[in-house]
Amino acid sequence: KQEVTQIPAALSVPEGENLVLNCSFTDSAIYNLQWFRQDPGKGLTSLLLIQSSQREQTSGRLNASLDKSSGRSTLYIAASQPGDSATYLCAVPPSNQAGTALIFGKGTTLSVSS
């Protein structure tokens, strides 16, 4: 059964720091991996989607990497800003199939102070 773990659970950094959020999954046979952002009391905003054949994806100050063989993904945030404060969720499908529901980690809650 696929399980997703995110470390750390919470992170506080001063503005301007570069930071790395970690995600690990137990079954490496994934179709893709997705990173989301969730603001308090709000829904999910998709940040990056990495297909199983890809090693990384970049969007602005965000870079997500994927190492399927080791069951790990990292989300790198460059030059963090107070507006980056949110919970970041990592999710994968339960199997190597498209079009299925996602299994989520518990998230990393990031706080960036000005």
Partner 1 sequence: GAVVSQHPSRVICKSGTSVKIECRSLDFQATTMFWYRQFPKQSLMLMATSNEGSKATYEQGVEKDKFLINHASLTLSTLTVTSAHPEDSSFYICSALGQGRNEQFFGPGTRLTVL
Distance between CA atoms of residues 46 and 103, nearest Å? 14
Distance between CA atoms of residues 5 and 104, nearest Å? 8
* Cβ burial, residue 39 (10 Å; 0-12/13-18/19+): exposed
Point out which residues bind partner 1 (CB under 8 A): 31-32, 34, 36, 41-46, 49, 89, 91, 98-99, 101-107
Q: How far is the CB of 18 from partner 1 (least distance, A)?
A: 26
Distance between CA atoms of residues 22 and 6, nearest Å? 6
Q: How far is the CB of 110 from partner 1 (least distance, A)?
A: 15
Q: How far is the CB of 96 from partner 1 (least distance, A)?
A: 11
Nearer to partner 1, 29 or 49 (CB): 49
Nearer to partner 1, 51 or 70 (CB): 51
